[in-house]
Amino acid sequence: MRGFGVALGALALASCAATGGTPPATVAVAPQEAAKLRQVGAAVLFWSQEERFRNFPAMEKLFPGTVARAGRKVRALPQGAPLPIAEAEVAAFMAAQNVTGLLVLQDGKVRMERYARGYGPEGRWTSFSVAKSVTSTLVGAAIKDGYIKSIDDPVTRYIPDLAGAGYDGVSIRQLLTMTSGVKWNEDYTDPNSDVARMFAEAVPAGMDPTVFYMRKLPRESEPGAKFVYKTGETNLIGVLVRRATGKSLSAYLEEKIWKPFGMERDAFWMTDQTGAEVSGCCLSVSLRDYGRIGQMALEGGKGIVPAGWFADATKAQVTYPGGGYGYQWWVLPGGTYAAQGIFGQVILVDPSSKLVMVTSAAWPRASDRDLAQARLAFAMKVQAAARQ
């Protein structure tokens, strides 16, 4: 096991590729607000630095969404021995990376926890594509519950309005591994890319916005042949889970993960103009609960997903130069894996040392190789310190 050093080196490459009770109600979106929501949703990619610092911890004040409520029984994260890293070095890393939250768990104990710029344990920070790894876990939960028979089922069995489009013959597995063969542009710097435009159009009444957009895309390769990172496909996974379970993603998240695993704070999940969660993005969670997500994966999700789900989800189902991709998890050389989001969000898991490292941040650019390499260097120091 070569640990975080190799792992974050691969992430640098990847970042440049790219219970009981009533279920939480979806926040209604008035018709006059729908057009505004479509415009602002795309604008998130092009906020100024000051807007990022101000808005990333306050998405629920800007956008409609749903809430997954925390339960009464909170999973403890006991205090562990502080990592032997100079405080000045930690502060310098956080300042250079615009990190507002930094957490390191080992054996489920807190070995480092820092906050900046007014963020704190009571707050939430948006995750961007870290949400993808949570959405894929809900697929595992739906299989365990019998709502989905197999990830080898065709997607059109659960989303029949995709029939006759580029997703004919595509399996759930191929959505999870982003190997559908459907053409997609994930360029965060291009306002005309698919990732920026997918909610920009008015949608006919009764049509899901994700399905409306994705069914228009052409196929460029055979299903299973080519890995292309597509946020839109994780949004389709969310549609699939909602339709299979008959529940909102937040309601199912609350039932299957948030309450059973003992999350500490409510989670907020941004919704589209129809009130459905944007499942490829936009889940806002507290720093410690991001750490618990990593801990859940590390422990295998017993009682939440089928036995062996995380072993499969966090191994390379497909490869790219420097690493691989599982079921919406980045799979890295040496056995480490990660949930990663733009602007510096990451949950990094090193099973060999039972280490979880989380950063919530506001990088000046969506993806940045130099910042990823600097995070690599810091993570290597964290790992070395944890072994002392």
What contacts 362, CB < 8 A, 6 or more positions away? 49, 52, 53, 56, 98, 100, 343, 344
Task: Give pLDDT tens digits for 166-222.
Answer: 999 999 999 999 999 999 988 877 888 888 787 777 788 888 889 999 999 999 999
Whichever domain contains 326, its CATH number is: 3.40.710.10
What contacts 228, CB < 8 A, 6 or more positions away? 178, 179, 183, 184, 186
Task: Give pLDDT tens digits for 100-128.
Answer: 999 999 999 999 999 999 999 999 999 99
Tokens of 14: 């990847």
Identify which of 195, 170, 172, 130 has the alpha carbon closest to the alpha carbon of residue 357: 130
Domain coverage including residue 57: 3-18+21-386
pLDDT of residue 17: 39
Tokens of 84: 């032997």
What residue type is 71 in one-letter code? G
Q: How many domains does the chain have?
A: 1
Q: Could you give the C-alpha distances from 256 to 111, 126, 145, 147, 246, in angstroms and in order?
A: 28, 21, 10, 13, 14
Q: Could you give the C-alpha distances from 181 to 17, 52, 212, 229, 303, in angstroms and in order?
A: 17, 33, 18, 11, 33
pTM for the full model?
A: 0.90
Helix, strand and coil content of the chain, in percent to the nearest 5, comes to 40, 15, 45
